Homo-oligomer: A and B are copies of this chain.
């Protein structure tokens, strides 16, 4: 069983290195020979740890999806206003991404290279997650917290765009930490840039 544990952790190493490679070069342009070289082994040896290149992509994409889902589950359970839910949802999303910026970037940019039926399943998970945020927005409009003039689809896609690009530019070594980043981003989207009168 110590073998099984060692195998698991080696598999983890392979997946993590693959995430970096996929992020940097894109899934299609990243070769298994590139990956093997990063790990200091031969390409053929990779296949004692993983079944295929796509299996790696699948585990990266679906593991992240599960994390996002879990985070939003917790927020929805709380008895708070829609704008508080939205803020906490945003902060939770940012924190999940911050835990693994590399996997987050792969999740966002490379999922389209999943084959069927995995791609379909992934897209269903994503649309479901987006719709849960949309429901929060709609709740906020109903309760009078948010403007009713806003286009809900536009608002939710803008929110998602902002969230999903974060792994592309956020520097984990920077002064602002993920929780502050989430707070500020939520504040910016809810309250806007303009100084209130």
Q: Which residues of A contact B (CB under 8 A)?
A: 25-29, 83, 86, 109, 112-113, 137, 140, 144-147, 150-151, 154-155, 157-158, 160-166, 169, 176, 181, 184-185, 188-197
Contact of A158 (CB < 8 Å), options: B162, B176, B195: B162
Main secondary structure of the interface of A (DSSP, over half): helix
- Report whether B194 and A181 are in contact in the complex, using a CB–CB cutoff of 8 Å: no
Residues of B with C-beta under 8 A to A164: 161, 165
The complex is assembled from copies of this chain, and their number is 2
- Report whether B195 and A145 are in contact in the complex, using a CB–CB cutoff of 8 Å: yes
Contact of A191 (CB < 8 Å), options: B25, B112, B163, B194: B194
Known: A29-B28, A165-B161, A169-B157. A188 touches B184 (CB 8 A): no
Distance of A166 Cα from B161 Cα, bound (Å): 8
Residues of B with C-beta under 8 A to A160: 165
Distance of A160 Cα from B86 Cα, bound (Å): 21
Contact of A26 (CB < 8 Å), options: B113, B151, B196: B113
**Min CB–CB distance A97 → chain B (angstroms):** 13
